[in-house]
Amino acid sequence: MIPSPSFAMASTAPAPSSRAARRDADRARKRAARQAQRDAGAPDPRQLDAALVDALREAILAPSGQGGAMLSNSVEH
């Protein structure tokens, strides 16, 4: 007789249909949370990150006479 696996050895992964339902519910929850943040006037995190990166890039690459303090070789005392 072949022993059947015990309940402790059974897979704890949910069935595909419940996994898909949970994924869809998570997406809907996150979508609602993002919309609530937009309604509250919070900036979009991706746009904010992009703006910060652009500003840093411009500050680093600007010629020394135009605020490019990051590339300046002279030290002012």
pLDDT score at 8: 56
Which letter does DSSP use for residue 64 in this model?
G
Residue 3 lies in a domain: no
The residues, any chain, with a CB within 8 Å of residue 22's CB and separated by 6 or more, are 14
DSSP string of 9-41, one letter each residue: TS--SPPHHHHHHHHHHHHHHHHHHHHHHHHTT
Neighbours of 7 (CB within 10 A): 6
pLDDT score at 35: 94
Boundaries of domain holding 24 = 16-71
pLDDT score at 56: 94
Which letter does DSSP use for residue 74 in this model?
S
pLDDT along the chain (77 residues), means of 10: 59 70 96 94 92 94 65 52
Residue 8 lies in a domain: no
The total of structural domains in the chain comes to 1
pLDDT score at 36: 95
Predicted TM-score of the model (pTM): 0.46
